[in-house]
Structure 1
């Protein structure tokens, strides 16, 4: 019997979240598995996989706040709002001061609305937006309420800015970078992203995909965060 629980994975770059689920499904020997919150192929870090009966709390786990470490690059806007897209516009980056950059970030704190990017899994008339984007179509997207509870600027070496952001579910860090670039007037895109926390889960117990592939199945089962432990963590 495959145990129920959450497998914490430290996703490598250039993999889809679906790729990780497929690898874990084979390694664990289960068909009942899903993930909590898609990470773009470019992104690395915490991907939570729900296994067996834990699939019933998938929505609950996905609703919790997240923390990301990211890098935005000023001066270039792209079709996907990250470095994997086509460059749409290039502008010179002024010699911004740390205070000017902080002011731009501060404009996106607390509760505000974000327009989701075209390259996203949100559906329009049953069709994911990214499929429409691949065909060169752009449709109107309704703004969505999001919250940034905290941010920290870690490094400024223009045109790059490293930051940490704590945000609500449904938050697009790509759009955050794009919007900050727009506020500064020179444009920007997200050039690196790593998820470091989701709710109370961190990377501390996360396994790499290579580790998952090579671990004996019983040992992998023992690495799951049990439903009882999750209940205690969440104060239930």
Structure 2
């Protein structure tokens, strides 16, 4: 479907919130947005794995200058972990590594395991991450079958909620700090319960003050008139008000 021509010549500066679809990378979304908005000056705040959906903030034009500031804010995710199977990537897209029986855990036992990972604690980043070791992203080493030692990183969980327990699946939400790996969170909870686990679904619903309420879908990004996408953007002035600046 061809995009209707736009009479707007100047690309506005601001943030476009996109509801990322599954099975695409964050870079895929940026590439679509570059064409849709008619600009090369665009980036994203906080990578979402291909299997994940939800809030991806795109910074456009002068908003690229506040990219690091926006990325530093706390985030909220909704996810599902599957007990009994650990994988090479700590999520459902990896190769199964070990399978264990999942006993009939009481809700209190599962809540206690989540409770261990609340407040300030440390995570060891997964091998499938963008963190660099001697200048090389870990995920590139992982693709070659290499595993290297990773330093634990301080993270913070403000709150969590267990939404549903249908063993072996546990559905939850978590409010966490920048640099938090939800798949490592799922993996570590599984290790604490003694049966292992991996992340089987993930959706980001908030980043700082930004939510999905004003998000555009990938289909809209591909087909909506350019002017409509400009109108959907959150301006730098509004961002300052939102953040109390």
Quote the offset at 1:222 in angstroms.
1.2
CA deviations on 1:2-53 (whole Å, 9 max, x unpaired) are 0000000000000000000000000000010000000000000000000000
- Which residue of 1 is the match for residue 242 of structure 2? 233
Please give the residue correspondences for 1:43-192 in structure 2 after superposition, counting only pairs within 5 Å: 43-192=52-201
Moved over 4 A (4+): none
Q: Gaps (5+ residues) in structure 1?
A: none
Secondary structure class of the residue paired with 1:6: strand
The reply to whether residue 27 of structure 1 matches residue 39 of structure 2 is no
CA deviations on 1:104-145 (whole Å, 9 max, x unpaired) are 000000000000000000000110000000000000000000
CA deviations on 1:76-126 (whole Å, 9 max, x unpaired) are 000000000000000000110000000000000000000000000000011
RMSD: 0.3
Secondary structure class of the residue paired with 1:10: strand
Quote the offset at 1:218 in angstroms.
1.3
- Which residue of 1 is the match for residue 6 of structure 2? none
Give the Cα–Cα distance (whole angstroms) in 2 for the partners of residues 49 and 224 of structure 1: 9
Give the Cα–Cα distance (whole angstroms) in 2 for the partners of residues 108 and 39 of structure 1: 22
Please give the residue correspondences for 1:4-19 in structure 2 after superposition, counting only pairs within 5 Å: 4-19=13-28
TM-score by length of 1: 1.00
Secondary structure class of the residue paired with 2:234: coil
Give the Cα–Cα distance (whole angstroms) in 1 for the partners of residues 226 and 81 of structure 2: 39
